[in-house]
Amino acid sequence: MALPAGLALALALGGAGSARGAEGRVVHRIQLDSIVHPVAAEFLAEELDAADAAGAAALVVELDTPGGLLESTRAMSEAMLAAKTPVVVWVAPEGARAASAGFFLLLSADFAAMAPSTNTGAAHPVGGAGETIEGVLGEKVEQDAAATIRALATRRGRNVERAEAAVKESHSFTADEALEAGLIDLVAPDLPSLLSGLDGREFEKPAGTTRTLEVAGAVVVDRPMHAFRKLLSILIHPNIAYLLMTIGFLGLYFELSHPGAILPGVVGGISLLLGLYALSVLPVDFAGIGLILLAIALFIAEVKVTSYGLLTVGGVVALVLGSLMLFDSPEPALQVSLGLVISVSIAFAAVAVLLASLALRAQSRRPTTGAEGLVGARARTVSALAPHGKVFVQGEWWNAVAESEVPAGAEVEIVSVDGMTLHVRAGGAG
């Protein structure tokens, strides 16, 4: 049956408009695969603004983090709650985790999802060395974290009781367990299944206003972190920051012990500046820095003073203690690896022992230049020594006094130097 021309045209235009609508949808995707720190918070805030400006259907945050800084976590959580664009936090790829601070970010999203073989939770606050915080302070910290997670779970309609268990009892959840517990919306192995699984679901943004997520057929636009910010993100990792700082101290230590080497000083200076930048962002315990500086001073003193290794032992002890105390944070992700601390301490001790042994060897070596360097050298008599005369040694003429008469042209050994006169004896080892 033939359709009226007007109706056919209307249907054609409607179909074309619908196709353009589906094709015009854009989803932005970013990756956060480091500890939670100010650089990550700044990156997320910028990408939320970019998604809003582009009219993106959603912003997918692919998350893999062991935790991070509390202030940065709060900033990122607040940014997601206030964003105009719906935010999907997806713990991926397989094997990834959203532990500690990452759990707070997962529950802050409009939609929470996880890939298979991932985990989340373990958000109980701990002390700077990973220990349980005891007493009233521990209770206050725990209650604050629990209240925060309850507020997030309530805001996003998630299981408040199970979310609170991750804080108070350090519960961790696999992807399937988190889905069953009502902590996430979906388990998705890849991005297409994530978007198809979430399409058509409702969300509130702003609060009280219900909207429908429309991401079917959307074009995914990856928004990578630019190179400079990626470099800053790497530098802020506690292990990298600690390693840069110790390399800096080691280079300067070597330069001070052996002035003029130049290269160790240059490398040490650059490393130290990069390390100090990282320390300016991370929560630092100044007692830890003080102990590390004391260790460096003891290592330098070992080169100058004969202590039979006592200063080196003291330096190693101070370095280990300072390294373990360096970062003041309840997050295990913000602690220096014990293996790295031990490796750096052994390296410092080895360098200190090497430099001390070289210094002792140099001090005990017989002089080879100047007047003292002539003692033990061989000379040839220019005139007979009876007992005074002239000798020729190292391209120079010297007055000489012999213990007994020595004929001209004979070889003598220099015994001592008295001003401009050499005391010699006949023969020697010839």
| pLDDT tens-digit profile, the chain (430 residues) | 444 444 343 333 344 333 334 456 899 999 999 999 999 999 999 999 999 999 999 999 999 999 888 889 999 999 999 999 999 999 999 999 999 999 999 999 999 999 999 999 987 665 444 445 555 555 676 788 889 999 999 999 999 999 999 988 889 999 999 999 999 999 999 999 999 999 999 998 866 788 999 998 899 999 999 999 999 888 888 899 999 988 888 888 778 767 777 888 899 899 999 988 888 888 888 888 899 889 888 877 876 776 777 887 888 888 888 888 888 776 677 778 888 888 888 887 787 777 667 666 655 555 555 566 678 788 888 888 888 899 898 878 888 998 888 888 888 888 888 888 888 888 754 4
Distance from C-alpha of 146 to C-alpha of 139, rounded to nearest angstrom:
10
- The reply to whether 75 and 219 lie within a common domain is yes
- pLDDT for 356 equals 67
Strands (E), 18-101: 26-32, 58-63, 87-91, 97-99
Distance from C-alpha of 233 to C-alpha of 349, rounded to nearest angstrom:
30
1 part of a folded domain: no
Structural domain harbouring 381: 372-426
Distance from C-alpha of 25 to C-alpha of 31, rounded to nearest angstrom:
20
For the record, the structure tokens of 263 come out as 């290269």
Domain ends where: 364, 390, 409?
A: 364
- pLDDT for 11 equals 37
- The reply to whether 328 and 282 lie within a common domain is yes
194 part of a folded domain: yes
405 part of a folded domain: yes
Beta bridge partners of 389: 400
Domain harbouring 70, CATH code: 3.90.226.10
- pLDDT for 279 equals 85
- pLDDT for 135 equals 53
- pLDDT for 405 equals 86
Distance from C-alpha of 275 to C-alpha of 245, rounded to nearest angstrom:
5
- pLDDT for 348 equals 77
406 part of a folded domain: yes
Task: Report the 10 Å Cβ neighbour count for 75.
Answer: 18
- pLDDT for 429 equals 47
- The reply to whether 169 and 277 lie within a common domain is no
Residue type, 416: S
Instruction: State the pTM of this model.
Output: 0.70
16 part of a folded domain: no
Phi, psi of 311 (to 5 degrees): -65, -35
Domain ends where: 364, 387, 418?
A: 364
C-alpha neighbours within 13 Å on the C-beta side of residue 46: 12
- pLDDT for 138 equals 56
Phi, psi of 167 (to 5 degrees): -85, -50
- CA nearest neighbour of 402 among 376, 426, 427, 429: 426
166 part of a folded domain: yes
Domain harbouring 407, CATH code: 2.40.50.140
377 part of a folded domain: yes
Distance from C-alpha of 298 to C-alpha of 8, rounded to nearest angstrom:
90
Number of domains in the chain: 3
CB 163 within 8 A of CB 153: yes
193 part of a folded domain: yes
Instruction: DSSP letter for 36, please.
Output: B
- The reply to whether 109 and 208 lie within a common domain is yes
- The reply to whether 183 and 243 lie within a common domain is no
Residue type, 10: A
- CA nearest neighbour of 122 among 157, 71, 173: 173
- The reply to whether 353 and 299 lie within a common domain is yes
Q: How far is CA 427 from CA 206, 209, 298, 376, 415, in A?
A: 104, 109, 50, 12, 12
Distance from C-alpha of 268 to C-alpha of 146, rounded to nearest angstrom:
44
For the record, the structure tokens of 176 come out as 């399937």
- The reply to whether 80 and 192 lie within a common domain is yes
CB 79 within 8 A of CB 71: no
Instruction: State how beta strands 87-91 and 58-63 pair.
Output: parallel
- The reply to whether 257 and 199 lie within a common domain is no
- pLDDT for 123 equals 76
**What are the DSSP calls for 147-162, one per residue?**
HHHHHHHHHHT--HHH
Distance from C-alpha of 111 to C-alpha of 184, rounded to nearest angstrom:
7
- The reply to whether 411 and 333 lie within a common domain is no
Residues 147-182: tens digit of each pLDDT: 999 999 999 999 999 999 998 888 999 999 999 999
> Locate tokens 């401009």: which residue?
420
Identify the three-state secondary structure at position 119: strand
Who contacts 47 (Cβ-Cβ below 8 Å, separation ≥6)?
A: 28, 30, 59, 223
- The reply to whether 360 and 378 lie within a common domain is no
Domain ends where: 165, 192, 226?
A: 226
- The reply to whether 40 and 121 lie within a common domain is yes
- The reply to whether 220 and 263 lie within a common domain is no
- pLDDT for 126 equals 53
